[in-house]
Structure 1
């Protein structure tokens, strides 16, 4: 076995003593300085045995031999700091190749593929001779840098590029939302949404500590019910009604209920709703005598969100809250939906304040500038 001897100069010993005494370096560097000081055979101190040094520092004797070997075969600096190893990294793609990757990811997928994957993009880059080789991990890092996520898709209602009709209805609704509260002329929003009725074939197993709730994948469909939502934003008031269907007749009866039951004392009701063909005042003449239909129409100022702009209807937003908080679970009957919705409505009205609508006409003219038509000259 080769024996390695450490002989330090006075300058080297002083340098190592400074490191060991100050204790401001890395732990490995301080440990190696102490090893070298105690192994020194240069005549400036008494040399200690490997076993004595190992016991003093609570380390293995092989560690001491490695430090001595580095001192003899490599250098003083390497013995003190340890041997460094170069980590081979895959070559990063340059700006030109990165631009081609981004362009490719934003293009249509090849026939037979619904979306781009990391591996598919890597294969396509090689096929198009952008690179001789590239891993899917390198592609992923390129996406992370450019904040691209081709595997994700966001669905939303896209309005026309430029539409005076869209702008007219949008600004009309936004102006109404700026009105102060007026009990004699309340502003209310209305919308509706379906709810599938799904029954359980097997009883779900309740959740236990460290065990999730288990629901069988099989179920039985019991039809669909409809949920009408009415919101008075400034009053923080919500009224929900569950019906068996969503027809013109159901809507007409819903309007009559709003006028005669919920807002009988109001002089005029401003009603905002989306632009469906079932939401027209003329529908009331189909299900009520002319005098009754005219009475209901005179009591309501009908306003409509633009086509592809139903997000302006606060009732639609509130329906999303209802579905998220109350209707995620399977419900097998209209009666079960009614009970759940009524409990939610009471709790929501007791806890919630009015809706603080922030988006204004001024905001729209900046953020949705592309939707405003070019002025004709």
Structure 2
């Protein structure tokens, strides 16, 4: 049986303790947080055996091992809340098709149907000649990362009623995307994502003629690193930076690198990104002298996607490509991630892989008409 070793950092322990002590989360999440705390074998370990945890919490040893496995191989988020169901095949849908699918799901249903189903959406995508064939599972995969569930009454990505704030930010982003290529004013997109670092307790034994590769059954989680993605869609250029964490300081340094190292000759840089609390130009004043902070801010036109509208950030699409093509394997340290990502980045840039964005403001005003407010008299 595979043994998964849990080693928590001080920050991770504090986060788990906060979940337990507040008591406002679901019972399952609190239980899983309690299991992870007690399974910790790191510096702050309290040395509690699985059998004791199982007895106190009235769970099976198999449940404890399953939660440890999710933590080590996936993330703390999956260990606490459970991992969504996934198929063995990756979703066969690109950014253009995804945008059309989201628009269709947010439009009125055909006559005779109360709401969209996965199969109905798949049939309609074929009927509209967006694609030759599409299964309902492909539709489900397309919605998963956007948190859109058209078969339910509540929708998370696009507001269920008119929202002037949403359409304002959406149209601002779409106006930026229709600009022609301009070397003096490049349009770039930025996003970030965590990467689990998972290592082997013992070195694997390489494959030989007539012998399979042998890997020890015990793994160790070595923490998390952060991936910054910058994409210039019209130039087919992307820059990826790996950091130890994602803080306001890391973001401020990322912005300075974009301005001074990636686009030093540009007169102004248009930067599209989501509206995380760390993505605030005011942060630059916290880490740089006022003159330097003002210089960086004056060099950038900040454009933010609407709340729950991160699907409008093309860098998010490119991050998904990076995850599926490069990072779907265990890497035990940041150096391995950097090496793999640099090779991927070089190959993509050599092939000048861009994004052919098709969703426009006129499309939005038709397909997402219900999101536009009624004019006040």
- TM-score w.r.t. length of structure 2: 0.57
SS at match of 1:354: coil
Whole-angstrom CA distance in 2 between matches of 1:288 and 1:145: 53
Q: Which residue of 2 aligns with 1:16?
A: none
**Residue 221 to residue 264, structure 1, CA distance change in 2 (3 Å):** same
Q: Which residue of 2 aligns with 1:174?
A: 174
Instruction: Map 1:357-368; keep pairs closer than 5 Å.
Output: 357-368=357-368
Deviations 1:316-370 (A, max 9, x none): 1100000000001000000110000101000010113332111111111222223
Q: Which residue of 2 aligns with 1:246?
A: 246
Instruction: Map 1:130-145; keep pairs closer than 5 Å.
Output: none
Q: Which residue of 2 aligns with 1:160?
A: 159
Whole-angstrom CA distance in 2 between matches of 1:205 and 1:172: 54
Of structures 1 and 2, the larger Rg is shown by 1
SS at match of 1:255: helix
What is the CA RMSD across the aligned residues, in angstroms? Answer: 2.9
Q: Which residue of 1 aligns with 2:25?
A: none
**Residue 202 to residue 306, structure 1, CA distance change in 2 (3 Å):** same
The number of aligned residues is 234
Q: Which residue of 2 aligns with 1:263?
A: 263
Whole-angstrom CA distance in 1 between matches of 2:273 and 2:367: 23
Q: Which residue of 1 aligns with 2:354?
A: 354
Q: Which residue of 2 aligns with 1:305?
A: 305
SS at match of 2:278: helix
Q: Which residue of 2 aligns with 1:220?
A: 220
- After TM superposition, give the deviation of residue 301 of structure 1 in Å: 0.5
**Residue 319 to residue 208, structure 1, CA distance change in 2 (3 Å):** farther
Deviations 1:192-247 (A, max 9, x none): 11101000235456679999877666420101100100000100000000011100
**Residue 144 to residue 351, structure 1, CA distance change in 2 (3 Å):** closer
Give structure 2 stretches of 5+ with no counterpart. Answer: 1-117, 124-134, 148-155
- After TM superposition, give the deviation of residue 145 of structure 1 in Å: 11
Q: Which residue of 2 aligns with 1:343?
A: 343
Q: Which residue of 1 aligns with 2:374?
A: 374
- TM-score w.r.t. length of structure 1: 0.57
Deviations 1:133-179 (A, max 9, x none): xxxxxxxxxx99999989x8953332222211010000110010000
Whole-angstrom CA distance in 2 between matches of 1:367 and 1:272: 23
SS at match of 2:354: coil
Deviations 1:14-35 (A, max 9, x none): xxxxxxxxxxxxxxxxxxxxxx
Whole-angstrom CA distance in 2 between matches of 1:241 and 1:193: 11
Which is worse superposed, 164-173 or 197-206? 197-206
Whole-angstrom CA distance in 1 between matches of 2:288 and 2:186: 24
Whole-angstrom CA distance in 2 between matches of 1:320 and 1:149: 21
Whole-angstrom CA distance in 2 between matches of 1:264 and 1:145: 50
**Residue 165 to residue 216, structure 1, CA distance change in 2 (3 Å):** farther
Q: Which residue of 2 aligns with 1:122?
A: none
Answer yes or no: is 1:201 the counterpart of 2:201: yes
SS at match of 2:234: coil
**Residue 349 to residue 210, structure 1, CA distance change in 2 (3 Å):** farther
SS at match of 2:339: helix
Q: Which residue of 2 aligns with 1:286?
A: 286
Instruction: Map 1:13-28; keep pairs closer than 5 Å.
Output: none
Whole-angstrom CA distance in 1 between matches of 2:205 and 2:324: 22
Which is worse superposed, 344-353 or 277-286? 344-353
Q: Which residue of 2 aligns with 1:69?
A: none
Q: Which residue of 2 aligns with 1:273?
A: 273
Give structure 1 stretches of 5+ with no counterpart. Answer: 1-142
Whole-angstrom CA distance in 2 between matches of 1:280 and 1:224: 24
